[in-house]
Amino acid sequence: MKEITCKLLVIGAGPGGYVCAIRAGQLGVDTVIVEMAKPGGTCLNIGCIPSKAIIHAADDFAKTVAMAAGKNAMGIKADNPAIDLAKTMAWKDGITGRLTLGVAGLLKKAGVKIVVGRAKFRDGKTVAVETETGEQVIRAENIVIATGSAPVELPMLPFGGKVVSSTGALSLTEVPARLAVVGAGYIGLELGLAFAKLGSKVTIVEALDRILPLYDTQLTQPVAKRLAALGVEVLLGTKVKGLSSNGEALLAETGSGEERRIAADKILVTVGRKPVTEGWGREELELDMDGRFLRIDEQCRTSMRGIYAVGDVTGEPMLAHRAMVQGEMVAEIVSGKRRSWDKRAIPAVCFTDPEIVSVGLSPDEAKAAGREIKIGQFPFSTNGRAMTLSAEEGFVRVVARADNHLVLGIQGVGVGISELSAAFSLAIEMGARLEDIAGTIHAHPTQSEAFAEATLKALGHALHI
Ligand SMILES: Cc1cc2nc3c(=O)[nH]c(=O)nc-3n(C[C@H](O)[C@H](O)[C@H](O)COP(=O)(O)OP(=O)(O)OC[C@H]3O[C@@H](n4cnc5c(N)ncnc54)[C@H](O)[C@@H]3O)c2cc1C
């Protein structure tokens, strides 16, 4: 096969890689992207998008079940609700299919050449791709490693049979009667809550003594309450041991040494994700590592000239929007623009029930950084729009410097609060002070009014509380 030469070669077409390639193409950079699975990577195919589709379907189903049980204050009635999970999955696959086709279309529109196959470095400028029709060698001036991440497997619970990763859970065609979830991070809780709403008896096993350890308990408490209301059993401080000898149950040991036998039809293991740093010829290169990740600088340059890395392979937070922004930046650098990472904050959202958003510093983080702070918190229970949406649980919290009121962090928990993350991020990115947000007219009735009220509360004159 004839060798390809190009200015930019991107390995991996997840959010980091495909955004990098599209932007490079737009800028006239001669670009090739290699993908061994489907365009869109983890996010579009087996991550962000399919999980949110299933969460939405589960929410709708749970609401209908509640209506049928007469638990609907609005007076809506429903009869005999049922779910055909195979159909739900087909609907979800339709969405991911449209999006992956869309990504391929955008790459083509930007003039990017797509090569399908597994890429492997031969040296710092050359990559060989195993394609269906043989080996394709590509030589490039610049190479971006965007190989992403994969689920962590537990040695005593290898994936296979009834033990599934998030990928397996997102393609089940029947609702498991009993689902054990190992790990109470955001992926385990998002999927655990969804299956509980779909009708599974869910048990969550977590080795730490709390759910969602990256968030403070004020934020996670409404989620814990909802888990309890849905009948989800959460075993904290509990370590899994493996499968029972007949394979029917998950064996675990509680903090007090008590053995637990959790009967399960499916066991979903969500104990984290690991960067994909093997399988693409890293051994042919001299790349510095940063723990288990590839080391990069503020321009996403690795320790080898002309080799960049973006996305999950480069560190936490392993989130799609971080990968995309890094990808876009690298494309601009390769095209000759002066760019470097200058973001003040990367928003994080848990699509749990209710949802959690965190941007910038939490009160504890701000104090640990030696800041004198003001905190303003406003509950959704006094927000008119939240009442009309039956979404009164939760709050918005603003953390600002005590001296000049510069906003350092914004967190919140509430139904649908993910949509407020844009306002929170914008405020921090623009260097807003409490007075800027308080002085912005927030439309009524919207949940965003709670954001303005939280800043007023920090200034000492909230209006609706
Ligand atoms: C269930 C779940 C839910 C999630 N929800 C969210 C969410 O709500 N919001 C959010 O921001 N993030 C979410 N994430 C995380 C998000 O999916 C990742 O942060 C994001 O996909 C990282 O993008 P990336 O480009 O670094 O890598 P990936 O998306 O992992 O893409 C890497 C690509 O590289 C390809 N590849 C790897 N090696 C090679 C090779 N040698 N040759 C050719 N191709 C190769 C892979 O096939 C893959 O397509 C979720 C993840 C999961 C699993």
Cα-atom radius of gyration of the chain, to the nearest Å?
24
CATH node for 4-53+86-150+274-341: 3.50.50.60
Ligand 1 closest atom vs CA 18 = 25
Yes or no: is domain 345-459 CATH 3.30.390.30?
yes
Phi/psi of residue 68, nearest 5 degrees: -65, -30
Ligand 1 closest atom vs CA 314 = 26
Ligand 1 closest atom vs CA 38 = 49
Specify the pLDDT at position 101: 98
By most ligand atoms within 8 Å of CB, the mutation choice from 43, 135, 282, 351 for ligand 1 is 43
Nearest CA to ligand 1 atom 20: 320
| Angle at alpha carbon of residue 343, lines to 340 and 346, rounded to 5° | 135
Per residue in 361-376, is it b (16+ CB within 10 Å) or e — as a string?
Answer: bbbeebeeeebebbbb
Cite the residue boundaries of each domain of the chain with CATH code 3.50.50.60: 4-53+86-150+274-341, 163-271
184 CA to centre of ligand 1 in angstroms: 20
Going residue by residue through the chain (465 aa), what tens digit of pLDDT does each one get?
789 999 999 999 999 999 999 999 999 999 999 999 999 999 999 999 999 999 999 999 999 999 999 988 999 999 999 999 999 999 999 999 999 999 999 999 999 999 999 999 999 999 999 999 999 999 999 999 999 999 999 999 999 999 999 999 999 999 999 999 999 999 999 999 999 999 999 999 999 999 999 999 999 999 999 999 999 999 999 999 999 999 999 999 999 999 999 999 999 999 999 999 999 999 999 999 999 999 999 999 999 999 999 999 999 999 999 999 999 999 999 999 999 999 999 999 999 999 999 999 999 999 999 999 999 999 999 999 999 999 999 999 999 999 999 999 999 999 999 999 999 999 999 999 999 999 999 999 999 999 999 999 999 999 999
| Angle at alpha carbon of residue 160, lines to 159 and 163, rounded to 5° | 65
Ligand 1: lining residues by beta carbon, under 6 Å: 11-17, 34-37, 41-43, 47-48, 51, 118-119, 146-149, 166, 187, 276, 279-280, 311-312, 318-321, 323, 351
Nearest CA to ligand 1 atom 48: 41
Ligand 1 closest atom vs CA 16 = 25
Distance of CA 351 to CAs 19, 59, 185, 223, 358, Å? 23, 12, 11, 10, 12
Nearest CA to ligand 1 atom 53: 47
Ligand 1 closest atom vs CA 129 = 42
The CATH architecture of the domain made up of 163-271 is 3-Layer(bba) Sandwich (3.50)
410 CA to centre of ligand 1 in angstroms: 26
Closest CA to 90 of 66, 59, 57: 57
What is the per-residue pLDDT across 229-274, written as a single tens digit (0 to 9) for each? 999 999 999 999 999 999 999 999 999 999 999 999 999 999 999 9
Specify the pLDDT at position 403: 98
Ligand 1 closest atom vs CA 273 = 53
By most ligand atoms within 8 Å of CB, the mutation choice from 9, 19, 42, 313 for ligand 1 is 42
Specify the pLDDT at position 395: 98
By most ligand atoms within 8 Å of CB, the mutation choice from 38, 48, 212, 417 for ligand 1 is 48
Specify the pLDDT at position 429: 98
272 CA to centre of ligand 1 in angstroms: 13
- CA 28, CA 9: separation in Å to the nearest integer? 14
41 CA to centre of ligand 1 in angstroms: 5
Q: What is the number of alpha carbons within 13 Å of residue 384 lying toward its C-beta?
A: 6
Closest CA to 219 of 22, 358, 47, 70: 358
166 CA to centre of ligand 1 in angstroms: 12
Nearest CA to ligand 1 atom 7: 48
Active site residues: 444
Cite the residue boundaries of each domain of the chain with CATH code 3.30.390.30: 345-459
233 CA to centre of ligand 1 in angstroms: 30
Ligand 1 closest atom vs CA 48 = 5
Specify the pLDDT at position 1: 78
By most ligand atoms within 8 Å of CB, the mutation choice from 96, 145, 147 for ligand 1 is 147
459 CA to centre of ligand 1 in angstroms: 41
Which residue in this structure is represented by tokens 């609005």?
74
What is the per-residue pLDDT across 345-388, written as a single tens digit (0 to 9) for each? 999 999 999 999 999 999 999 999 999 999 999 999 999 999 99
pTM score, two decimals? 0.97
149 CA to centre of ligand 1 in angstroms: 6
- Contact (CB, 8 A) for 133 and 119: no
Nearest CA to ligand 1 atom 34: 12
